[in-house]
A and B are shown apart, each in its own frame.
Chain A
Amino acid sequence: MADSPQAGQSSDRRGFFRGLVRGLALLAGGATLGLLATRAQAARTVWQIDPYKCTMCGRCAVECVLSPSAVKCVHSHGMCGYCELCTGFFEPDAPNLHEGAENQLCPTGAIERTLIEQPYFEYRIKEDECIGCAKCVAGCAAFGNGSMYLQIRHDRCVDCNDCAIARACPTQAIRRVPADQPYLLKQVDEP
């Protein structure tokens, strides 16, 4: 180490060192690629809520990086009983059974109730107003058909690499799903 190399020698040595580092990097990169090729599928994924795992804890409304949340209530109308007394719509101790805000479970009045024909009412979610709080979902699941449930809406979701709600969800109800089937919708014939 104490000798003083000529300029040429030192640049030779530097060149060798550079080549060595480059070679090692390429080797490591190649090995990683090889391993990845055998281990990983290349499918595109997005995040989605499994409605059968969600416990309607309310974290979806507050944990999303967006505010209001990218999670909204969706309604599978085919499963709905069109109940006059919808437990997803009315407060359990609602003073009156009409559309007044004081009777409604939804904190933002995001559910629209329309009479189709006696005694059937249709409940539509106005997505711009829904904040994904899951209150209606809990009501519908507890005493109704469970036709209201939460889904991550992909027109809003920014597709975080690590979904902030998935991190906070107590039941790991949020998982990556293939991007070509981006929703986990409830079906009439499912449990």
Chain B
Amino acid sequence: MRLGAGRLILWAVGPALWLGLAVPAWGTQRFPPPQFETDHTLPVTHTPPPDAPWRDVLDVAVLAAALGLAAWLVLARRSRRGVLALAVFSLVYFGFWRGGCVCPIGAIQNVTAALAGGGHALPLVVAAFFLLPLLATILFGRIFCAGVCPLGAIQDVVVIRPLRVPMWLEQSLGMLAYLYLGAAVLFAATGSAWVICEYDPFVGLFRMSGTMFMLGLGAVFLLGGMFLARPYCRWLCPYGVLMSWIAPGAVWQPRIDPVGCIQCQLCRDGCPINAIDAPDAPAAAARTTPPAGARLHQGAGALPGAGAGGFPGAGVGVGRRDRRRMAGLLLIAPLLVAAGVLLGERLAPTLARMNERVQLTDRLLAEDMGWVEGHTDATAAFRSRGESRTELAAEAERIESAFAWGSPLLGAFIGLVLAAKLIQHARRRRRDEFAIHQPRCVACARCFALCPHHPGNEAMLIELTREKTRL
């Protein structure tokens, strides 16, 4: 067989066609496959398989084992060293070796997409990664964050000189995580984007590869994290929000264990993430029956920063003022929710436009109407494939209507959270000792050994007690 003339002609006109090639082509069988005279065998297309299923099983097993170990190290051994070692292991295994995917944080989106329907498959391994740490939180508090989460671990190992963030700032920044969670759920449910994965600051570092944006973001978080401990955990992590709802109900919780807290404040200063609540101001303390060691207790009243909600004056009137404040907040709550709904309604069209299908619809329209010049890859491909415009329009409309009720719902959620936070803040809690704030504590075990009551700290206890009594 000779080289066909058709082929030569095609070759000759090829370059000209090439330049004018505006629409993509997927190839057709233009030239029949040859009949070889020699016994040439065709090479087979090589298809390397993905990870074998046993890898998934192994990952889930390692996750379960690490959670169990973390619980034991935090609650039974109370060992900071052990927790740190486990965190380093998890960082290496889940982070660097397994590449950071899938993680429970991102799994929020898989679960949302599966719940939203549309036939999204939820592999068992993803479901397990989402549920196991939550289950562990019901039992033991946020031990997942302590030694298992690779994102937590990479932030924890770089903490060198944590600065104290004022409580009001801590709590305001904490609102970001709720916003992030809400946005992640909204975008995943509408099939628009997986923002948690898109803006994961650490996954690029785990893989030592990624876009400049990803790697830069990671570097910023790590550098900042030297002085502001665990910034992602405290102010952004959406999974942390879920755990913070559950942790107060944990069967066994990380505690500092002060049998007769001497108000030395060492634990609070040692917690890098502001997760230890100070006792009430002396005014409130004076009203309760003084516990053993009352002298120390009163002496400590002058400590700076003790009791952020300190009240001037004592006793009388405090209750009534509290109640009035609470009533005011309860009235404001529905207003906040309503404001959220309104804002959500306003933003819905803008948010919907982040969806590719909606974008494509808009762009096609703009091109048809001559509002824009030229075309994008997406519109060119859409036109050349001759797909149905009505189907696309219907799809875009479905997505827009999903945003039309999802976005106000997100607004309502944020309003509600804001109201709940304010109410929680205004509620007077009677506390005589420094105590771990369960929703925020990531169970890192740093504070345990700081307490003078910790076994081995007897000398410190005596010393501090003397000092305080002298005051």
Contact = CB atoms under 8 A, between A and B. Distances in A.
Contacts of B287: 4
Contacts of B50: 46, 154, 157, 159, 179, 182
Given A42-B123, A57-B377, A117-B37, A143 B248 contact: no
Given A32-B111, A144-B27, A188-B33, A74 B45 contact: yes
Contacts of A35: 115
Contact of B380 (A29, A55, A85): A55
Q: How large is the interface on A (under 10, 10 to 19, 20 to 34, 35 or more residues)?
A: 35 or more
Q: How large is the interface on B (under 10, 10 to 19, 20 to 34, 35 or more residues)?
A: 35 or more
B350 to A, nearest CB: 19
A145 B10 contact: no
Interface in A43-92: 43-46, 51-53, 55-57, 65-67, 74-85, 87, 92
B378 A171 contact: yes
A41 B118 CA distance: 11
Interface string A144-188: 111100000111011111101001001110001001001101001
Contact of A77 (B45, B122, B198): B45
A140 interface: yes
A160 B50 CA distance: 12
Interface in A88-125: 92-93, 116-117, 119-120, 122, 124
B356 A172 contact: yes
A55 B378 CA distance: 9
Nearest to B432: A7
Interface of B: 1-3, 7-8, 10-11, 14-15, 17-18, 21, 24-34, 36-38, 40, 42-51, 53, 56, 99, 101-103, 106-107, 109-111, 114-115, 117, 119-127, 131, 134-135, 138, 193-194, 197-198, 203-204, 207, 209-211, 214, 245-246, 248-251, 287-289, 318-320, 322-323, 356, 376-378, 380-382, 385, 427-428, 430
A142 B25 contact: yes
A155 B51 CA distance: 8
B210 A65 contact: yes
Contacts of A79: 29, 33
A36 B18 contact: no
A33 B250 CA distance: 20
B30 A43 contact: no
A82 B33 contact: yes
10 contacts: A25-B246, A42-B122, A42-B123, A45-B121, A119-B3, A138-B24, A155-B49, A160-B203, A161-B106, A164-B211
A82 B34 contact: yes
Contact of A40 (B2, B114, B214): B114
Contacts of B99: 158-159
Contacts of B56: 44
Given A79-B33, A119-B2, A154-B49, A140 B138 contact: no
